[in-house]
Structure 1
Amino acid sequence: MTTSRSPLAGRLVVNAVLGLMALYTLIPLWWLFVSASKGEGYLYRGNPLWFSHFDLGANIGRVFTFQDGIFSSWLVNSALYSLVGAAVSTLLSVMAGYALAKYRFRGRESVFNVILASVLIPAPLFALPLFLMLAELHLTDTYWAVLIPSFVSPFGVYLSRVYASSSVPDELLEAARIDGAGEQRTFFRIALPVMTPALVTIFLFQFVSVWNNYLLPALLLNDASKLPVTVGLVQWRSEFANGVSPMLPIVGAFVSLVPLLVAFVALQRFWRTGLTAGAVK
């Protein structure tokens, strides 16, 4: 009797912990949605977790028209930084991970260990060195100041190597070479399609990372027309004393989450597959 109750109790504890984690994740999102939907002047009235004077459409309209519609420019900038940065980073990561997994050369493990160590270094520690380097190159306050650092993803290289090692058979590559395919054609025609789940996973992680990046753009950009949405919303938050409504950054934050939710929903199937491959290896 005790034995049969033990697994049941364990499942109940696990489900309770997972439920608390889900609430911890979803309650802030729910609060953001509810707050963004409230009419002007009703943000701090009534239940903070329930609707009051629903006016979401008008709030979104005010966000997109405030300050000559600069919020639209911030969204476009974030999309540019995230899409271009994630695409280039994904390609470079997959190429590097494939080379580390399938080619034998002196210093291969040392290179991989350096890349692996860089994964463990917090990203804010790179901000000041990157600022100094880009300032010497006269690239500050340009689009390249945000794009160039986003082209590098140590985690993407790590995941690519793990996935290439487990999912791209050496026999398949040898067969392609015997048939006369060069290394470039073998990679793009044979290996790359097999590594599609890894590509999507790396792209999604890098897209979210660049979209949510705040510190580096805040350090490197001064022109308001080049700011991403994260930095722009913080500027609105700091201008409450200048007549900026607290509703604007809240509604703006809600709108800025929509592209991330769409990306997760659209790429969820590939994302789970890529993560599972890395975990098994």
Structure 2
Amino acid sequence: MAATGAAGTTATPPPARTRPVPRPARARRRTTSSRPRRSVLLTVLTGLVVVYTLIPLAWLFINATKTQPKLLSSFGLWFSGRFALWDNVHQTLTYNDHIFVRWLLNTLLYVVLGAGGATFLAVLGGYGLAKFDFPGRRGVFAVVIGAVAVPGAALAVPTFLMFSRMGLTDTPWAVIVPSLVSPFGLYLMWVFASEAIPDELLEAARMDGSGEIRTFFRISLPLLAPGIVTVLLFTVVATWNNYFLPLIMIKNPDWYPLTIGLNSWNAQAATAGGQPVFNLVITGSLLTILPLIAAFLLLQRYWQSGLAAGSVKE
């Protein structure tokens, strides 16, 4: 019976506490045992990807340290007796009247003007499409998405026919001008600018009397730095590794980029009776990828932040 207080009220007993239903021992064992298995599986898969990525680089470096006879007679993934890397580098840079240096300068020219111009145009276009409203904006978005889906090789032949009519084939402009168009860079800057630059900040700058050009260079451009570096890396890699477009546009070896030049050396080495330049091809390939590796290592933090932009909204 319930106890009666002094005032005649009946005190109700506290409600009984409900105990949580314990999980079955089998379910807990499965949960705890599945996590280590998943982590081990992910670690193994990551290790396989790393090995798959690093083995070609290791093979390239190891074989760049060998002489021509040892290159053809020794095991590919181990060093030979003599370390001939510096001799191979010197021979590569001085072979055929320093033609490799000329190809390297041509590639730098295409990258600076082509990739740099493509990044600049992508920044301007992406900022304008993200922060200005105008008729036909949806149509422009559809065109950009469609251009991203079209591979560059499909446009190489029409581009060649157009440039041949203008008399620009076999000139550097035949490689530089098509490289200025980067639909993926434009789309990436469009998405990045829409999330990185608040509209309220632009409105405050306009109310303070700042013009659009000054607002872009003084306020918007610093906020777009991660996206700019990301687009720059993509365009630099695409221009540096461009092969098919220079192959059909350039016939003069003096205007070859590194990709076409090394392929010509490889064809020369594979020709019956040709000069033995396999070690030059391998050493030249090693020298070709070093600038890209350095660029990724130096700009890695900007590249990662640029890729992650827009994935989380406040």
**Out of 50, 57, 68, which is 1:22 matched to?**
50
1:186 matched to 2:215? The reply is yes
Q: Given that residues 159 and 278 in structure 1 are in contact (C-alpha distance below 8 angstroms), is that contact kept between their aligned partners in structure 2?
A: no
Q: Which residue of 2 aligns with 1:89?
A: 118
Q: Given that residues 68 and 276 in structure 2 are in contact (C-alpha distance below 8 angstroms), is that contact kept between their aligned partners in structure 1?
A: no
Q: Which residue of 2 aligns with 1:260?
A: 292
SS at structure 1 position matched to 2:68: coil
1:8 matched to 2:36? The reply is yes
1:70 matched to 2:99? The reply is yes
SS at structure 2 position matched to 1:2: helix
1:198 matched to 2:230? The reply is no
2-structure distance, mates of 1:182, 1:124: 41
Give the gaps of 5 or more residues in structure 1.
none
CA shift, 1:15, in A, is 1.5
- Aligned residue-pair number: 281
The share of aligned pairs that are identical, in percent, is 46
2-structure distance, mates of 1:49, 1:211: 27
Q: Which residue of 1 aligns with 2:249?
A: 220
Taking structure 1 as the reference length, the TM-score comes to 0.97
Give the gaps of 5 or more residues in structure 2.
1-28
RMSD: 1.2
**Out of 261, 268, 273, which is 1:232 matched to?**
261
Q: Which runs of 4+ in 1 moved over 3 A?
A: 278-281
Report Cα offsets for 1:211-270 as digits up to 9, x if no partner: 000000011011111110000000011112321421111111111111111111111111
Q: Given that residues 77 and 228 in structure 1 are in contact (C-alpha distance below 8 angstroms), is that contact kept between their aligned partners in structure 2?
A: yes
Greater per-residue helix proportion: 1
**Out of 130, 133, 138, which is 1:101 matched to?**
130
1:45 matched to 2:102? The reply is no
SS at structure 1 position matched to 2:86: helix
Q: Which residue of 2 aligns with 1:251?
A: 283
CA shift, 1:78, in A, is 0.6
2-structure distance, mates of 1:159, 1:48: 41
| Equivalent position amino acid for 1:277 in 2 | A
Higher RCO structure, 1 or 2 (CA under 8 Å, sep 6+): 1
1:32 matched to 2:64? The reply is no
